Amino acid sequence: MNYLETAKRFLKKRAVLYVALLVVVDILFFTTTDPGKVAAPWLIVGYILAVATLYWIVRAIVAFLGLYSKALRRQKRRLATLLTLIGAILLAMDTVGQLSFRDLAVLVPLALIAYFYLSYGKSKKKA
């Protein structure tokens, strides 16, 4: 399979379409709002929009990597959810000014351990 065919298959994926759509919505939303002047519900909408965009970007990357790895292809939803959860927690902590290197050093290894633990449990059930 050549690179052109691989690129065409990748562009046909639903995740790529969602990423493109969310980027347009992000541009419209974040350029028309000022976080210092909007009400709290709009900040929550912005956070949800940012997390959704992060999810679909991560899912598109995992889908692209899944073209080359069967293991990633099987676990793309779980891996995308875990990486998005880490990103959402880090974004929320950074937004309120509570993110430190210590938090990062604790959260990322714990999330990786949880991912491997849950993956191991799923593979044992199938075997």
- Dihedral angle sign, alpha carbons of residues 89, 76, 72, 2: negative
Helix, coil or strand: residue 100: coil
H runs (alpha helix) in 39-100:
40-66, 70-74, 76-95
Q: pLDDT tens, 73-107?
A: 777 788 888 889 989 999 999 988 888 999 888 88
At 25 the pLDDT is 93
- Please name which of 4, 23, 26 lies closest in space to residue 15, comparing C-alpha atoms: 23
Helix, coil or strand: residue 103: helix
pLDDT averaged over the chain?
82
Contact between residue 60 and residue 16 where contact means Cβ atoms under 8 Å apart:
yes
Domain boundaries defined on the chain: 3-126
Q: pLDDT tens, 22-31?
A: 999 999 999 9
